Amino acid sequence: MNHSEMPLIEHLKELRKRILIVVSFVGMAFIVLFNYSDKLYKLLVFPLSAEMRIISTRPYLEFTEKKAISLVFLAPAEAFWMYMKISMVAAVVVTMPVIFYQVWRFISPGLVEREKKYIVPFVFSSSFLFLAGAAFCFVVILPFALTFLLGYKSEQMTPMISVGSYMDFCLKFILAFGAVFELPLAILFMVRFGFITPDTLAKNRKFAVLAAFIVGAVLTPTPDAFNQTLMAIPVIVLYEIGILLARIIYRKGKNA
């Protein structure tokens, strides 16, 4: 029975089943990772102690170590909830293959038999892209953003950042970049299943640029134009990569 033949109640039961499986795996991962939350915290403060600068010679990016800013907590439970957040986000990240597999299982009844064979490429590529986006954000974007934003300190202004606000800033950025790195895959699937063509995507490039800045404004944890631009530029690059890959897939589909 495919999706078009399933009544609404069956759709809801299937969705409930997939959500319960995802919640179960995330919950188990959370329990395990909470025991390592202190180590995860020490890892996440890396951007505070790393300064990234753009230079004119190769490799064009320079990382230097600096004295890290001490974080404070402003409420009795703030540190505890910070560890909870870190563990939960880490649990979501490590269970991404399970999450994407369950997404595929939910939509697969609506696919024809030849389309169901893409399950392994879908799960692998979607998980890889999410992790690549999270890693890119952590290694490149966060050190650069924090170096720039904290560079405004002066004799009259000393940064005093709460651990809760810092972790919210980092975790939201990491999840947002993980999500936007799925863009090439989303474009490939839309082209592969005939929802859009590469030429249409190329013709609407100017709208994609505008959408990238809107997405940057919505997904970044702060409303400033600098962080919005940090998000928008990778989205535009990923959009162009998606068009390039879509042209290859589109030509193969027409020649098949």
Judgement on whether residues 201 and 145 belong to the same structural domain of the protein? no
Among 41, 30, 31, 45, residue whose Cα is nearest residue 83:
41
pLDDT tens digits, 46-88? 888 766 666 667 766 666 666 667 788 888 888 899 999 999 9
Do residues 243 and 198 make contact, with C-beta atoms less than 8 angstroms apart? yes
Contact between 236 and 212 under an 8 Å Cβ cutoff? The reply is yes
127 and 241 assigned to the same domain = no
The domain total for the chain is 2
Give the domain extent around 223.
182-256
Is the domain of 162 the same as that of 195? Answer: no
- What is the reported pTM? 0.80
Task: State which of 178, 208, 242 marks the end of a domain.
Answer: 178
What is the C-alpha to C-alpha distance for residues 72 and 9, in angstroms, rounded to an integer? Answer: 49
List, for residues 113-150, the tens digit of each pLDDT value: 776 777 888 889 899 999 999 998 888 888 878 877 77
Q: What single DSSP character describes residue 71?
A: P
- Considering the domain architecture, whether residues 17 and 134 belong to the same structural domain is answered as yes
Q: Are residues 162 and 234 in the same domain?
A: no
In angstroms, the CA 83 to CA 40 distance is 9
Helix 37-44 and helix 8-34: axis angle, to 10°? 90
Mean pLDDT lowest among 100-104, 145-149, 199-203, 250-254: 250-254
Question: 132 and 72, same structural domain?
Answer: yes
Q: Are residues 161 and 187 in the same domain?
A: no
